[in-house]
Amino acid sequence: MQITQTAMQKKKQSFISYISHIPTHFSHPDFLSFKKSKKATMALAPLLHSKLPSFPFILLFSIFIYSNSLYASDYPPLSLDHYASTCPTVFDVIRKEMECEVLSDPRNAALVVRLHFHDCFVQGCDGSVLLDDTITLQGEKKASPNVNSLKGFRIIDKIKNKVESECPGIVSCADILTIAARDAVILVGGPYWDVPVGRKDSKTASYELASANIPTADEGLLSIISKFLYQGLSVTDVVALSGAHTIGMARCANFRARIYGDFETTSDRSPLSETYLSNLKSICPAAVGGDNNVSAMDNITPNLFDNSYYQILLKGEGLLNSDQELYSSMLGIQTKQLVVKYAHDPVGFFQQFSDSMVKLGNIINHDSFANGEVRKNCRFVNT
């Protein structure tokens, strides 16, 4: 049943009242001009007709318009030819190093993609995730979403050393990580996209933002969407970027609650499904122990970047709760439609994934552009 005109008007008035009293820390000049413009009404229209409860509706939309003020108005000063004269071989060097890493172990592709994602969700794509703890700086590596999850640092160190030998002091660690993530996807069968470059490395990191901004395996759908909206990414980006889980592994600690919880409820309980669940339980015991045991998030083609991840969600067999929520959540009307689309349209998934990865890579740290540097060693700020 469609929302009534009266209900829609009440929702609109509630929103207008809400944004009129945004706290001062949301009073970014671009935000103030945005909420006075027709753009706000246009952006609001799809949500006005949604059946979201008032609080989630207001929360998600306020995050959306705030993130637009932070990111959409100032497109990052990146370009495809930034290193054309200063380090023309950089793309070839990174590709060759990634080829070696993926040939030695296809799982290395997922490690680099995950590093890039976790970097961009904290202060933008500025290489902050690569910094080690020092006496004067607390890094992001020990934050709860990272501490047992990120393992690709050695790969980036090797690539950085190679790039430095070719072009010392020219190419940032942030750019190396962004390019390497693209090459990682290609090397396991995924799509190509152009990578604009010119990022600077930050001199800071944020343990607090790493703990708060990065989606976790057990989060609900609205919470995940809100974290993407805050970064200037859309619901479509949520579903497309989640498709990166077609490669890589998950720890037992991150899927234990799922397999001993609602896995049987969401799955079709076929003999194949029951066998899969039994195998997962043998890897991940219900009692304490085995937290670091791992299983592929895509049990069909774990080392191939394809759309089988979405086909797994259609069967209700997503390994992580956060993945299955995209299809099974009662609030996931749009996400469910996108899961179905990508499950049946691999070309469409590849195109959207490429577009979404460019958007992800364009999340910037304004401070790093003004005050950042090109680190000599990705683990430490230059002295």
Q: Give me the active site residues, please.
A: 118
Interhelix angle for 321-328 vs 252-259, to 10°? Answer: 40
Element (H, E) at 251: strand 249-251
CA distance 58 to 56: 6
Q: Which two tokens stand for residue 145?
A: 């979403």
Integer CA distances (angstroms), 283 to 107, 148, 276, 299, 316, in order:
18, 17, 11, 13, 19
At which residue do the structure tokens 């439609």 appear? 337
CA distance 359 to 356: 5
CA distance 38 to 299: 47
Closest by CA position to 172, among listed 183, 154, 156, 186 = 156
- The pair phi, psi for residue 294, each rounded to 5°, is -125, 155
